[in-house]
Amino acid sequence: MKIQIFDTTLRDGTQGEKVCFSVDEKLRIAHKLDEFGINYIEGGWPGSNPKDALFFEAAKTETWQHAKICAFGSTRRAGSTAENDANLNMLLAAETPVVTIFGKTWIKHLVKALKVSREENLAMIFESVNWLKQNGREVIYDAEHFFDGYKSDPEYAMQTLRAAQKAGADTLTLCDTNGGTLPNEISEIVTRIRKEMRCELGIHAHNDSELAVANTINAVQAGARHIQGTINGFGERCGNSNLISAIANLQLKLDYQCVAPEALQNLTDLANYIYELANLNPRDEAAFIGKSAFAHKGGVHVSAVMKDPTTYEHITPEKVGNRRRVLVSDLSGRSNVNYKMKELELQIGSADETGEIVKEIKTLENQGYHFEAAEASFELLVQRHRNHIPDFFGLQGFRISVEKDGHDLMTRSEASIRVKVDGHVEHTAAEGDGPVNALDNALRKALLRFYPDVARMHLIDYKVRVLSEGDGTAAKVRVLIESQCAEQRWTTIGVSENIIEASWEALVDSFTFFLYKQYAFQSQNEKKQLSVSLV
C-alpha cells in the first residue's frame, strides 16, 4: 500500500536549534530529496522571510523528477477576506503546485492566541482552503494541535476538519503539535476520524515525548496514508518525526511502499548529506543510519553475529546503506579481534596469538586507551605484535616553548625536534598554533627529507578527554588524532598524565600508520611503495 511522504526539513526542520540553510543549500537538499523519491517537499513560508521567497523564485526554474514543491502558510487573518489576504496571495505568488495551510483546532488557541470566535475560525479555514482550490492548487490542510483539541472538545475538532473537507482540501493532516500524545491515543483517534472523513488523512507528529515515529506508524496503521516529518528528525524543541526511521520501519517491517525499494539503500547517504549541509555531526546512535546502529562490542554478541548476523541485528545493514562494525575494547573476546582483523584485511593468526592480542588490549584499555575509537592504533598494535612495523623513525628528543607577549597579547609556540632515520639524525624546528601543532609541523619537516609523501597527509581533528577528573591538572588524559590523505582517514590514540606526551604518542602513530600503508621495506636501506596505498 502506497504512503505519501511529505518532507518539511526545509521549513519545520529549520526551526530546530542550530539548523540553518542558505538558499543554495535548500535547493541542493530539495534535489537530493527529489532523487530519493520524496512525494512532497515543503520549501518554507513565502511571506515569512526573504530567504524562503528566494527559494521559491529559484524553484520555479528547476526541474523536479518526482517531488511536488509545496509552499506553507496559514489561513486568512481574522476579519479579512481570503481574496485580500496578503499571506494567501504570497502563497499563490510562489506558484507551487501544492500549498499547505494550517488552521486552529484547539479552543485554547482561539481564546488565548487568536482571540476569535469558533464560527470565525471555521470561516477562516473554509474560505482559505476554498480560495486556494479556486486558484488551482492542491491543498494540504494541517490541523494544528489536532489531538489536544480533539481531547478537549472532540466535536469542535471535527467541525474544523469538516470545514476544510467541504472547502475541497485534498489531504487533512492531523498534527500532534505539542508532541504529547501517546501511541494508543493516536490509534484510537485516527481510527474514529478515518470512519467519517473521505479525504486522505495525514499525520504530523512532534517528538517531545520521544514518540513521533511511533505515533506516525500508529497513525498509518489506523488509516493515515500521508506522513509528514523531517530528515534526521530536525525541528523545533525536540524535533519532528524522523522520516529516516519512519520510512525504514514502514517499508521494511510493515510492507508499505514509501519509496522505490532500491532507494532505501541511499537512506544513510541521504541522512549524512543533510547533516553535512546543516554543519552538524551525525548522531552515531541514530537508528538505521548511525555509525553505531550495527556496531557490536560484546564478545558474546560478536561471536553470534559472525555465525548468523540476525542473532543481534534486526535488519541487514546494507538494506539502508549502512554497514556492520565490530568494536575492539576491554569487552572484546577473540571473535572481536578476528572479525576486526578480517575487516582490516589482516591475516588472522593462531588462537594463541589472538589470545595474547586480546590480553594486551584489555591491559591497555584499563590504562585509558580506547581502540574502538582508534582503529589505526589497533592495526598498528596487531602488526607490531607480529614485528611487521619497521622503525621508520626514532625520537632523539624534542623541546617545546610557549611565549606570551604581554603587549600585543600574541602567543607563540615553537617545537624543536631530533629524529633518527636510517642512522641519520635530523634536527629541525617549527612554529605552530599551539604546542601540538608546532610539534606536528616540526616532525613533518624532519621526515620530509626521507619520506616526501608525508606532505600529502595532514591532521584534521584533535580531541582531548580527561580520564581522572578528580586529579585536576595532574589527571590522565586521552588524546585522539584524526588524519587524512586524499579520501582516506584514520584515527590514532595516546594516553598519559602529560598532555604533550599523550599527543606525541598519537602523533607518532598517525605518521607511522601512514608510512606503514605507504612503504614496505625490502631491506633496511631500501624502500618500495606498497601496491595498495592510501590513494
Q: Confirm whether 375 is domain-assigned.
A: no
Radius of gyration of the chain (CA): 30
* Residue range 286-345, pLDDT digits in tens: 999 998 999 887 778 877 887 888 999 999 999 999 988 776 654 556 677 777 677 667
Per cent of the chain over pLDDT 70 is 93
Mean predicted confidence (pLDDT) in 361-370:
78
Distance of CA 22 to the CA centre of its chain: 18
Strand 457-466's sheet: what is its strand order?
Answer: 457-466, 477-485, 488-496
Are residue 331 and residue 220 in the same domain, yes or no?
no
The answer to whether residues 483 and 405 belong to one domain is no
Residue 95 lies inside a defined structural domain of this protein: yes
The SS3 of residue 143 is strand
Lowest average pLDDT, out of 132-141, 237-246, 442-451, goes to 442-451
What's the pLDDT at 195?
96
What is the span of the domain harbouring residue 218?
4-277
Instruction: Write down the pLDDT at residue 344.
Output: 67
Query: Is 371 within a domain?
Result: no
As given in the structure block, the three cell numbers for residue 236 are 523545533
**Does this model's pTM top 0.85?**
no
Does 329 lie in the same domain as 308? yes
Same domain? 339 vs 432: no
Spatial distance between the Cα atoms of 177 and 243, rounded to a whole number of angstroms: 16
Residue 336 near residue 361 (C-beta atoms within 8 A): no
pLDDT in tens, 56-73: 999 999 999 999 999 999
Counted domains in the chain = 4
The answer on 317 and 273 residing in a single domain is: no
Domain end residue (candidates: 366, 382, 414): 366
**pLDDT for res 332:** 57
Give the DSSP letter of residue 230.
Answer: B
| 334: nearest Cα among 366, 300, 368 | 300
Residues 412 and 513 in one domain: no
Average pLDDT (174-203) is: 97
Q: Within a domain: residue 377?
A: no
- Residue 466: pLDDT band by 50, 70, 90 thresholds? confident
Give per-residue burial for 4-42: e unless 16+ CB within 10 Å, then b.
bbbbbbbbbbbebeebebebebbbebbbbbbebbbbbbb
Residue 300 has what pLDDT? Answer: 81
Alpha helices in 135-211 (DSSP H): 146-152, 154-167, 183-196
Instruction: Report whether pLDDT(525) > 50.
Output: no
- As given in the structure block, the three cell numbers for residue 414 are 615553537
Cα separation, 305 vs 299, in Å, equals 10
Give the mean pLDDT of 459-466: 88
- The residue type of 533 is S
Task: Report strand pairing: 40-44 vs 424-432.
Answer: unpaired
In terms of Cα–Cα distance, which of 245, 239, 197 is closest to 217? 245
Beta strands in 299-369 (DSSP E): 325-326
In a domain, residue 388? The reply is no
- pLDDT value of position 171: 98
Residue-level pLDDT at 408: 62
Using a CB cutoff of 8 Å and minimum separation of 24, what contacts does 400-404 make?
Answer: 400/435, 400/438, 400/439, 400/500, 402/435
Residue where the block lists cell 602513530: 509
Strand 411-421 and strand 394-404: the pairing is: antiparallel
* Helix orientation angle between 375-385 and 499-518, rounded to the nearest 10 degrees: 70
Least confident piece of the model among 40-49, 314-323, 397-406, 425-434: 397-406
pLDDT band at 531; cut points 50, 70, 90 = very low
Lowest mean pLDDT among 158-167, 223-232, 502-511: 502-511
Asked whether residue 385 is assigned to any structural domain, the reply reads no
Q: Is residue 220 part of a domain?
A: yes
CATH number, domain of 527, equals: 3.30.160.340
Cβ atoms 144, 177 nearer than 8 A: yes
The verdict on 161 and 308 lying in the same domain is no
Looking at the fold, whether 216 and 322 belong to one and the same domain comes out as no
Residues 41 and 163 in one domain: yes
Q: pLDDT value at position 42? A: 98
Instruction: Please enumerate in sequence order all residues whose Cβ is within 8 A of that of 210, keeping only pairs 6 or more positions apart, or say none.
Output: 238
pLDDT of residue 534: 41
Q: Cα(153)–Cα(110) distance, rounded to whole angstroms?
A: 13
